Amino acid sequence: EMLSGFEGRKLVPEEFRQQLRLCLGLNLSPPEVQGLMALMDANDDGYVECREFILFFFRTAFHARSDERTRGLSQRFEEEQNQRRSKQTAERNARLAESKLYSHPFTEEDHKRAMELVQKCAES
């Protein structure tokens, strides 16, 4: 029931932001939302689909609750992912700016802040 606002939908940034606030109590800034969407958007279409959100959210919850050893491995994996994302961020921003779906440029700091908030929510 908590995720009913995501079910069967493709959300643009503002809708996604509203659903995060309504369903999870997360109040993210527009750049944080766009950074988070960039992390979740597996097919890179500029939308967050229900399946993408659920996979991302539960993967985040799993990592948040895993033991110290797994966390170390996860951190290394995430560092590698972050390096790849950093490289792709400028390209993605340019591409999405052209599509007019994303109106707020986001930084790696926005990614990090959004992830911290989602992880905190997933842990509870």
Helix/strand/coil for 26 = coil
Instruction: Quick: pLDDT tens for 106-115.
Output: 777 887 888 8
Is pLDDT larger for residue 17 or for residue 77? 17
In terms of pTM, does the model score above 0.85?
Answer: no
**Which one-letter DSSP state was computed for residue 55?**
H
Question: pLDDT at residue 20 above 80?
Answer: yes
> What is the rounded CA–CA span in Å between residue 50 and residue 5?
9
Domain boundary assignment for the chain: 10-123
Q: How does pLDDT run across 24-56, given as a tens digit for each residue? A: 899 999 999 988 988 888 888 888 888 888 888
φ/ψ of residue 14, rounded to 5:
-70, -40
Under DSSP, is residue 48 helix (H, G, I), strand (E, B) or coil? strand
Binning pLDDT at 50, 70 and 90, where does residue 75 land? Answer: confident
